[in-house]
Copies of this chain bind each other. A is one copy, B any other.
Amino acid sequence: MEQFGTVAILGVGLIGGSIGLALRSRGLAREVVGIGRHAGSIDEAVQRGAIDRGTTELRQGIASADVVVVCTPVDRVAEDVRLCAGVAGPDVLITDAGSSKRQIVDLVERQPQSSGVFVGAHPVAGSEKKGVAHARGDLFEGRPCVLTPTSSTPPDRLSRARRFWSSLGCRIVEMTPAEHDEILAYTSHLPHAVAGALASAVPADWLPLAAGAFRDCTRVAAADTALWTAIFRENRGALLKALDSLRERLASFQFALMTDDEDAIRRWWDEARLRRERFERLPGNPGVVSGQSPARNLP
């Protein structure tokens, strides 16, 4: 226990706060230090029990850390890793929790001091909610965490990163930063884009007649604008490709409708239904939860 020594978390919001709660409830760190830009959110994180203590001074928070987890928005991660690497001791492991990886890893690897201590990570878990108030110690249980080591990643840092993320409850998956971004463009960024498109496509006056399908499909459209603008931009190449696939699927549905081709509509829906059923059957996938209480009395 306490195997990770002092863990510093830069950015104590939903993700950073959940990491702190998981570390503390499992007794994995000697001390969990939170670093934030606002004293208010640091206080809130201490009150929630997500960190032992906090500071708004980067140097003070990082200097004695054995592990640093950078949980800032994706467009700030690389620069934050650089700042932390400049302050931390030589044995530090720095990892992150960003939803895009290629651009972050590219930038970090241009700085030898950062590159030698860094392992890119993306725990595939979260919420459309923001802030430490919504943090949960079990956020990562059973969820995948994608690590994106490269040929420059030191093997000892990689094994420490594997131990760190799996000790929070994650299943470790490893791939290149580019593979990560291509896959997550489809599995996460595209569903967010679709949620946004659907939310604004329905005229506001008609919303009282929207129900469960609209509600669930647009849930993540409530997510923070700045966070998601940054993720979309960092992964725009792969996301554009995913959007093309989606528009192709829509176009073939539209053609089947236009021609009132019953067999084609049926086949199109069956393909979607089987893919969704395959998702629900995945081991450890909490997809089955969704049909129950949340769906309650809504179509």
Contacts and interface: CB of A to CB of B under 8 A. Distances in A.
A293 interface: yes
Interface stretch (A1-9, A43-51, A83-91, A139-147): A139-147
A110 interface: no
Number of copies: 2
B257 A240 contact: yes
Interface string A182-222: 01101110111111111111111011111111111111111
Nearest to A275: B199
Contacts of A217: 191, 194-195, 216-217, 219-220
B218 A276 contact: yes
Interface stretch (A29-37, A152-160, A224-232): A224-232
A200 B279 contact: no
A39 interface: no
Interface SS of A by simple majority: helix
What are the 4 closest A-B residue pairs judged by CB atoms, nearest first? Answer: A126-B299, A294-B294, A196-B272, A191-B213
8 contacts: A173-B208, A190-B201, A197-B246, A201-B248, A219-B290, A221-B269, A222-B273, A243-B250
Interface of A: 99, 124-129, 136, 138-144, 146, 173, 183-184, 186-188, 190-204, 206-223, 225-226, 228-229, 232-233, 236, 239-240, 242-243, 245-250, 253-254, 257-258, 260, 262, 265-266, 268-273, 275-280, 282, 285-287, 289-299
